[in-house]
Amino acid sequence: MKVTYLGHSGFLLETDTVYLLFDYYTGALPEISADKPLVVFVSHSHADHYNREIFQWKLRYPDIQYVLAHDIPVKRMMEEHKARGIDLDPCLIQVRKRETRELRLCNGSALIVYALRSTDAGVAYLLEYEGHVFYHAGDLNLWYWEGESKQYNENMTRAYLKEMETLKGRKIDIAFIPLDPRLQEHAMDGLRIFMEYTKTEAVFPMHMWNDYSLIDTCLKRFPEYKKHLRSVSHEGQVFVL
């Protein structure tokens, strides 16, 4: 399997038989071969996770499919695209929190999509595909802000743990998890708890606002992550797993 870091929370994951693309909003798209299906996921509507440019790709990849969170307004956008000859109706679904959907891809395989509830906007995605399990958190994180009230941070912690409960003991091949330096000493909490709850093989930190220094700090504090945590350092970086 191959993972390309596109920037911020954007990743392209490639297996032998599919491309899964998450939260693209900027950067160069790597070469994508038209003979494997491409599924594009958007976790929520925020501008650092969603760029309407993704719908132009339908012209290049006619079999493309889109999975969008429920908070993204699509009606008008779809009408505008239809008027310009891009019919998104047959290839776009929206998912709500706690919803499970099964997508049938053009290669005949099934992709199971389970949407977790984000602690920010939209959803996180847990995917099952040909025996593999993948997870992209979107903005589902433990947003523990020093400046917030005790009540806020307690509610936040509770909400995050509730979602992690749904993943308890799960084997996950590849996960993408926020490691946001703005959270300062709490920046690693969400990732640490995720690693405690799940059995994750490879974890890619994201949502780092181009500051990758926290990865080293994290590895020093949790040396046991050495074989799991991938050192993301620049856009366009490719990892072969």
Report the distance separating Cα 171 and Cα 39, nearest Å.
22
Whether 13 and 36 have beta carbons less than 8 Å apart is answered as no
Encoded amino acid at 37, one letter: P
Of 14 and 139, nearer to Zn ion (C-beta) is: 139
**Per-residue CA distances from 117 to 4, 126, 130, 213 (Å):** 26, 11, 24, 29
The CB-of-31 to Zn ion minimum distance in angstroms stands at 27
Number of other residues whose CB lies within 10 A of the CB of residue 97 = 16
Query: Cα–Cα–Cα angle for 209, 18, 226, nearest 5°?
Result: 45
The CB-of-105 to Zn ion minimum distance in angstroms stands at 28
Three-class DSSP category at 126? strand
Of 65 and 119, nearer to Zn ion (C-beta) is: 119
The CB-of-50 to Zn ion minimum distance in angstroms stands at 10
Of 103 and 121, nearer to Zn ion (C-beta) is: 121
The CB-of-223 to Zn ion minimum distance in angstroms stands at 29
Report the distance separating Cα 82 and Cα 78, nearest Å.
6
Report the distance separating Cα 217 and Cα 212, nearest Å.
10
Residues that bind Zn ion (CB under 5 A): 48, 139
Of 58 and 136, nearer to Zn ion (C-beta) is: 136
What is the rounded radius of gyration, in angstroms, for the C-alpha atoms of the chain?
17
Of 48 and 189, nearer to Zn ion (C-beta) is: 48
The CB-of-46 to Zn ion minimum distance in angstroms stands at 5
The CB-of-49 to Zn ion minimum distance in angstroms stands at 5
Of 71 and 139, nearer to Zn ion (C-beta) is: 139
Of 174 and 208, nearer to Zn ion (C-beta) is: 208
The CB-of-48 to Zn ion minimum distance in angstroms stands at 5
Whether 172 and 135 have beta carbons less than 8 Å apart is answered as yes
Whose structure tokens read 């000493």?
185
Three-class DSSP category at 234? coil
Encoded amino acid at 80, one letter: E
Whether 30 and 18 have beta carbons less than 8 Å apart is answered as no
